[in-house]
């Protein structure tokens, strides 16, 4: 059982999660659960349930009448229509299950900080690798991708635990140069937003907000710094637009790099893999001398005759590259037109994934999408309100939310399918002379392995030993991510020991979405 938090009723706590703690320990704020379920009020959901039951009764009466009154003159047509009606009835019933018990979720960021990120002590928060995928910079403007990257580099999370990987599946020199410009602008943008606690932390969308930007800003230097930063951003956009204009005129001999060598990606379907680290934990400093998160450009290898032109393969390449460079325990994937509008969103996900009791059972945390650039009435239903605000909340209530292609934080262990390998210790000198160690019984070995796996693992140490990991099957991929709007967090959590996901293509048809 779980002791209720201060000022909250006991029924609001997620009673389905078992916490084997003593009452004395539960009084300690650092040992209480990091999240809870918030059921929808009965006054709101019960009327809808009554309507569902009423429809089910009417449907049953209708089907009973149809089955007991066959049409003898057109029996084949009657049979076909009855089969279709039964099929549609079953589809409707299955569609009602996710809507029967919708829930919200609430996190406790203060408890997360007390447990893993205490002031004055090294942060114990887990490392997170964030993936951004793009293909054609002319269809997916580099300024949009740049805003996504800037919002990632400015998240409210320890800089040594955040790494941003940008996958350029089109091997475009325009994307490469735009990312180089973005890394330089980040040295000014990141300290500015963290100093004044700016939200959202994508400059294009922050400067376009029609709000009172002086609200809650008491520093007298804010107005001056904001004007200077807006001027810097306008100059940054001019430089990016100049790169775009230059990219429209491709030289006959292809692009040439500054050292005079041809750009490896001139042939987009036949080129080697390219990796460039623009910012690193030891080499990337902002204008105030503070470290910046790691920023890595990745363009996977492509050869003729192989079907590697889909997003799935690009994400798989990011998983492999990140495993070598940073090997973060958790992975978040975003489309290039998704930006993080809530800088604490990564911490929100950690409240589920790093919970000592709930975390080991969680495969991924799926956040809903929100969209910009849509008319007030959303006449084309671009926001997918029914899907994100009703269906997925209901699926979360029955522990079955789906991965929707972006805005999802995955546990790397769940993606790989097994725990990190544990190497056997080498025998000591005396043991070698005596002929080696005795073999332990299977039961003792299993119990010792179980104890080792239950021990707390330092999140700053790479999770996996790459030498012992077998190569995956070519063509499979493990995709991942979504982030919440401020002050209205709800997410969808799926509990599973290990899951492997087959990938698919995801396209955003209308508007720009942000997480």
Which one is predicted more confidently, 318 or 427?
Answer: 318
CA distance 387 to 389: 6
* Least confidently predicted of 50-54, 201-205, 254-258, 453-457: 453-457
What is the mean predicted confidence (pLDDT) over 219-228? 88
31 CB-near residues (< 8 Å, 6+ apart): 21, 25
Say if residue 151 is in the same domain as residue 86: no
Region at 403 (left for phi over 0; alpha for psi -120 to 50; beta for the rest): beta
Say if residue 336 is in the same domain as residue 295: yes
C-alpha dist (Å) from residue 236 to 191, 206, 305, 426, 434:
16, 15, 40, 56, 70
Number of domains in the chain: 2
Question: Could you give phi then psi for residue 351, rounded to 5 degrees?
Answer: -65, -25
* Residue 286 known to bind ligand: no
* Residue 181 known to bind ligand: no
The count of other CB atoms within 10 Å of the CB of residue 99 is 18
* Residue 215 known to bind ligand: no
Task: Kindly indicate the confidence band of residue 379, based on its pLDDT and cuts at 50, 70 and 90.
Answer: confident
pLDDT in tens, 461-506: 444 443 443 433 333 222 222 333 333 344 555 444 333 333 323 3
The count of other CB atoms within 10 Å of the CB of residue 6 is 6
Q: Is residue 209 part of a domain?
A: yes
Residue 64 has pLDDT above 70, yes or no: yes
Say if residue 321 is in the same domain as residue 283: yes
Q: Which residue is associated with the tokens 């495969």?
A: 363
Say if residue 391 is in the same domain as residue 256: yes
Say if residue 67 is in the same domain as residue 191: no
* Least confidently predicted of 86-90, 203-207, 248-252, 415-419: 415-419
Say if residue 44 is in the same domain as residue 176: no
pLDDT of residue 227: 92
Say if residue 96 is in the same domain as residue 133: no
* Residue 44 known to bind ligand: no
pLDDT in tens, 308-359: 778 888 888 999 999 989 888 999 999 988 899 899 999 999 999 998 888 8
* Residue 455 known to bind ligand: no
For the chain, percent of residues with pLDDT exceeding 70: 75
Tokens standing for residue 183? 């890394």
Last residue in a domain, options 416, 448, 463: 416
Say if residue 285 is in the same domain as residue 322: yes
pTM recorded for the entire structure: 0.75
* Residue 133 known to bind ligand: yes
* Residue 188 known to bind ligand: no
Structural domain span for residue 90: 37-100
């Amino acid at each position: 059982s779980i002791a209720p938090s201060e000022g909250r009723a006991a029924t609001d706590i997620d009673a389905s999660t078992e916490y084997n703690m003593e009452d004395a320990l539960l009084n300690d704020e650092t040992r209480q659960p990091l999240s809870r379920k918030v059921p929808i009020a009965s006054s709101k959901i019960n009327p809808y349930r009554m309507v569902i039951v009423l429809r089910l009764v009417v449907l049953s009466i209708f089907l009973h009448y149809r089955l007991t009154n066959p049409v003898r003159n057109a029996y084949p047509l009657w049979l076909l229509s009855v089969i279709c009606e039964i099929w549609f009835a079953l589809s409707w019933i299955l569609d009602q299950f996710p809507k029967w018990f919708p829930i919200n979720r609430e996190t406790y960021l203060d408890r997360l900080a007390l447990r893993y990120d205490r002031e004055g002590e090294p942060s114990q928060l887990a490392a997170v690798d964030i993936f951004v995928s793009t293909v054609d910079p002319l269809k997916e403007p580099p300024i949009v991708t740049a805003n996504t990257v800037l919002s990632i580099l400015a998240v409210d999370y320890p800089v040594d635990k955040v790494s941003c990987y940008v996958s350029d599946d089109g091997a475009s020199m325009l994307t490469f140069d735009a990312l180089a410009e973005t890394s330089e602008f980040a040295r000014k943008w990141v300290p500015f937003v963290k100093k004044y606690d700016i939200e959202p932390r994508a400059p294009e969308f922050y400067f376009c907000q029609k709000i009172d930007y002086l609200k809650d800003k008491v520093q007298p230097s804010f107005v001056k710094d904001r004007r200077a930063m807006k001027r810097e951003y306008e100059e940054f956009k001019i430089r990016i637009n100049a790169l775009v204009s230059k990219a429209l005129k491709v030289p006959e001999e292809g692009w040439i790099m500054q050292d005079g060598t041809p750009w490896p990606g001139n042939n987009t379907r036949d080129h080697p893999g390219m990796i460039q680290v623009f910012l690193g934990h030891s080499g990337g400093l902002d204008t105030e001398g503070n470290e910046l998160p790691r920023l890595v450009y990745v363009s996977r290898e492509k050869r003729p005759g192989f079907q590697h032109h889909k997003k799935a393969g690009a994400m798989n390449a990011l998983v492999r590259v990140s495993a070598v460079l940073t090997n973060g325990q958790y992975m978040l994937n975003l489309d290039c037109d998704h930006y993080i509008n809530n800088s604490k969103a990564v911490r929100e996900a950690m409240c589920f994934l790093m919970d000592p009791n709930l975390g080991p059972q969680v495969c991924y945390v799926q956040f809903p999408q929100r969209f910009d650039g849509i008319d007030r009435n959303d006449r084309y239903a671009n926001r997918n309100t029914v899907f994100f605000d009703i269906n997925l909340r209901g699926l979360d209530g029955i522990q079955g939310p789906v991965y929707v292609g972006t805005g999802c934080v995955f546990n790397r262990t769940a993606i790989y399918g097994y725990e990190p390998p544990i190497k056997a210790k080498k025998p000591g000198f005396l043991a070698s002379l005596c002929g080696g160690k005795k073999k332990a019984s299977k039961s003792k070995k299993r119990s010792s392995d179980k104890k080792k796996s239950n021990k707390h693992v330092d999140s700053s140490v790479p999770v996996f030993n790459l030498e012992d990991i077998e190569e995956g099957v070519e063509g499979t991929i493990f995709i991942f991510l979504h982030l919440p709007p401020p002050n209205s967090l709800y997410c969808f959590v799926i509990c599973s020991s290990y899951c492997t996901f087959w990938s698919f293509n995801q396209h955003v048809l209308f508007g720009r979405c942000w997480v």
